[in-house]
Structures are given as structure tokens and as C-alpha cells.
Amino acid sequence: MTPADLEFVAELVRRHAGVVIRADKAFFIETRLGPVARREKAPGVTALLDQLRRVPDPVLTRAVVEATLMQETSFFRDRAVFEQIGKVILPDLRARRGAAPLRILSAGCATGQEAYSLAMLATDLAAPAAVEIVAVDFGSFPLEKARTGLFTHFEAQRGLPIRRLLAHFDKIDENWRIRPDLRQMIRWEELNLLDDLSGLGRFDLVLCRYVLSSLTPEAHARVLDSLDAACRPDGVLVVGAAETPALSAAFSPGGTRGVWRRNPAFAHEPARTQA
């Protein structure tokens, strides 16, 4: 893969997903594009990209962009954040909302570990059935895996307390499968966070973790505005514990790093810092 190939791919990914690809990711990108080239019967990655330069093709463009996105995730990633969600945020929301269903968004859900971790915490509530989790991602492949609820032993071990593994998974050969009661709490949707999110409705708890830090400044601002609009006026927004989004005064630190509480006194306008 040549530097020009990398710049071509980086521009596609920037334009279509808002994600920045760093120059040191060339090896990773080439490895990820190999299977796409084989599927397209192109003799290699450079030939695949030449084909795309000559004949722009939205389906192939999407496949190339999707293949380059990082899907790093694990169950209960940033354990302290999930402790707070399970012990404080969900019980508090449940008390405030009464019998109304709690709605949770996992934006950039990758292969689903984040959404399933939330579903496990929801089963600790008095009325777990009244929790709806919507999980969205750009990628169709990670979502396909998420929907199956099937994880390797290695994936299941990463971050998952043994009592949760035994309570919520069935062992299938060498793998572990999430039980149907948890699977049916989650609606999976292929969605670009740069697009209009209003069709998803409003949420009590919005998670968008380890996505914002990968975006261009323009995409970062746009996605923050959409997430703010998707958050109920007194809702909670959770980003990655190591992320520092440019949030407006409508949000104040909500305890554990990465947790932000929305102040209902602020109107639903830009979530980000104004220049």
C-alpha cells in the first residue's frame, strides 16, 4: 500500500465516517483491506483502491470505510463507570421515571459488549423489562456479530465477572452465548453518527465511548450536537473515561471520569463549547 493509497483511504474515511486515520495505521489498514480485495477479486489492496479511484462505487466505498474502523471493545470496559451506572445512575433514573420505560443508547457499539453489559446491569433493576437499549454502529459486520450474542472464551473473559458469565450466558462448545432474555432487550441498528439521529427518539442515558476521540473536529462537534439532542433534558451522557469532549455548560461532571449529567435548565442547543 503506497502513501497515496493511504491518503486516498484516509480521505474516504474522513468524508464518510468523520474518522481520522493516522499515518502509523498503514499496516492495520492494509491488513483490514486484504479481505475486501479478495471479496472483490482484486489482485491486491492497491488494485482494489485503483478500481475505486477509476469507478466510484458507493457500496465498495462503504465496505472500504467500514473495514478501516477500529472495533476495540470489551465487557464492562472502564469498570468504575459501569459500577456507577449499575449502582447509582440506573436506580436513580428508575426512581425518577417511575413506571415509564428507561431508554439507553449505545452509540458506536462495535460488537455489542457495551450494550450487553448495560443489559446485564438492567436485570438488577426491579423492572428490567421496562428498559429499552438501542445500539448503533456504522459497521454491518460488527453488528452481525453483536446480534448473534456469541463470544469466544477470550472475549467473554475480558472484563466479565464470572457470576455474570454464569448468570447470563450459555456455553456452546468453546464459545459463550448471551441468553435470549438479554438479547431481546437490545435493538441493533446500522447508523452513521454523522447522519440525523432524531429518528431514534430521546434517551435517559447515552453512551458514546471511544468514538468522539477518533473524529475530526467538525465531526466531533456535529456528533456532540446530535447526542445532546438525543439526551433527555435531565439525562446522562457517558464518554470514554480517557476522553475529553468539548461539552457546553449544559453538562457537568457526573462522578466517575467520563460521566456527564445534563442540566435541564439548558435548552436543547449545541452541546459543545462555543467559540
Ligand X SMILES: C[S@@+](CC[C@H](N)C(=O)[O-])C[C@H]1O[C@@H](n2cnc3c(N)ncnc32)[C@H](O)[C@@H]1O
CB of 134 vs ligand X, minimal distance in Å: 13
Residue nearest to ligand X (CB): 108
| Interaction of residue 121 with ligand X, rule CB under 6 A | no
Minimum CB distance to ligand X smaller for 140 or for 263: 140
HEC secondary structure over the chain: CCHHHHHHHHHHHHHHHCECCCHHHHHHHHHHHHHHHHHCCCCCHHHHHHHHHHCCCHHHHHHHHHHHCCCCCCCCCCHHHHHHHHHHHHHHHHHHHCCCCEEEEEECCCCCHHHHHHHHHHCCCCCHHHEEEEEEECCHHHHHHHHHCEECHHHHHCCCCHHHHHHHEEEECCEEEECHHHHCCEEEEECCCCCCCHHHCCEEEEECCCCHHHECHHHHHHHHHHHHHHEEEEEEEECCCCCCCCECCCEEECCCCCEEEECCCCCCCCCECCC
Q: Which stretch binds ligand X (CB under 6 A): 47-55, 177-185, 208-216, 244-252?
A: 208-216
| Interaction of residue 69 with ligand X, rule CB under 6 A | yes
Whose CA is closest to 93, among 20, 202, 10? 202
| Interaction of residue 139 with ligand X, rule CB under 6 A | yes
Burial class (CB in 10 A: 0-12, 13-18, 19+), 270: middle
Minimum CB distance to ligand X smaller for 72 or for 174: 72
Q: Which of 46, 51, 61, 71 binds ligand X (CB under 6 A)?
A: 71
| Interaction of residue 155 with ligand X, rule CB under 6 A | no
Minimum CB distance to ligand X smaller for 42 or for 240: 240
CB of 249 vs ligand X, minimal distance in Å: 25
Counting every residue, how long is the chain? 275
Q: Which stretch binds ligand X (CB under 6 A): 54-62, 63-71, 242-250, 263-271?
A: 63-71
Q: Which of 46, 51, 157, 192 binds ligand X (CB under 6 A)?
A: 192
| Interaction of residue 227 with ligand X, rule CB under 6 A | no
| Interaction of residue 21 with ligand X, rule CB under 6 A | no
CB of 218 vs ligand X, minimal distance in Å: 12
* Touching ligand X, residues 240-269 (CB under 6 A): 240
Contact 141, 66 (CB under 8 A): yes
Q: Which stretch binds ligand X (CB under 6 A): 28-36, 40-48, 191-199, 264-272?
A: 191-199
Q: How many of the other CB atoms lie within 10 Å of CB of 39?
A: 12
Q: Which of 128, 142, 149, 235 binds ligand X (CB under 6 A)?
A: 142
| Interaction of residue 176 with ligand X, rule CB under 6 A | no
| Interaction of residue 76 with ligand X, rule CB under 6 A | no
Binding site for ligand X (CB under 6 A): 17-19, 69-73, 77, 108-110, 114, 137-139, 142, 192-194, 209-211, 240
